[in-house]
Structure 1
């Protein structure tokens, strides 16, 4: 009886280990990831306004059809990146995602920023240079330290009425994203 229970416990333990190992390795084997989907949008160092999500149509980034979106892909190994512009007078949010699609920083206009977004995105080494005053920044710049070099920025806008959506998306397209021009 004890031998049977030991075999049963051993089988459950081994099955649990195999199960956990499989779950943890499957994402590494995926050919299509959030990063590859964003890369396909050609948004490197520029903000691209995404087409509206149609209900019932494929939605690979799992976006809310009621919101307007702008996306920008960045590589901080090339230098600091900046997000700059004026957003419409309605709810908006800005989120930084790492390569795995995990949010590493987020803010909204309800954080007291207002409608102007001026954000500097730095990696750890660039933040040290910034602290040593070896990188010049404008006053009022929101400094964000990213945990990785490869990331993307997602800007969400919520138009109060559907008729205002195209105007909001036009304003969203005016946002600059990427390294500063010298």
Structure 2
């Protein structure tokens, strides 16, 4: 015995079934994307030079950005780090009206951000450290610890992005040199 549904009900059921299938496929695709992405800003930053060193990035040009989301009006230097090797010290003296540093975990999420205006200084002096390393450091703190901005994080891998606004092409070489000589390394 077959059941005959009215035409409207059949079309409605087909529409609901199709819509439900589309929603399920959409959710599965969205959930699968992070596993299918073969690169990240963290892995891309490795192309520009060794870890624990600021590496000057090429100028930002439309369609050929060294890393995603960079401002073309700024100079950029990236430094990859692993806190398993110990705390990381970031220092820089960039002679420009505006500089900033962003610390990102390995997935590209911002861990911390600072600029010369919020730091209250033209000199960057920042220590990135895990909670365990900080407790060890507090047992025998160095004399100049109070001069550092200390950032505690559980993310043990990541990268720093130092950005500086170069006010004129005549200043570019000076800014490039300051970015290349910025320090990103082991805190002793």
TM over 0.5: yes
CA contact (8 A) 1:88 1:115 kept: yes
Which whole-Å CA distance do the structure 2 matches of 1:81 and 1:21 have between them? 39
Aligned counterpart, 1:140: 147
Which whole-Å CA distance do the structure 2 matches of 1:151 and 1:12 have between them? 41
1:163 paired residue among 144, 155, 170: 170
The change in CA–CA distance for 1:13 and 1:88 in structure 2 (over 3 A counts) is same
How many residue pairs are counted as aligned between the two chains?
A: 178
Output the aligned Cα RMSD: 2.2
Aligned counterpart, 1:34: 41
Deviation at 1:19, TM superposition (A): 0.8
Aligned counterpart, 1:46: 53
Structure 2 portions without partners, runs of 5+: 1-7
2:65 paired residue among 59, 63, 81: 59
Which whole-Å CA distance do the structure 2 matches of 1:86 and 1:14 have between them? 57
Superposition TM-score, scaled by structure 1 size = 0.85
Superposition TM-score, scaled by structure 2 size = 0.83
Larger radius of gyration: 2
Which whole-Å CA distance do the structure 2 matches of 1:8 and 1:128 have between them? 60
Structure 1 portions without partners, runs of 5+: none
Deviation at 1:8, TM superposition (A): 3.3
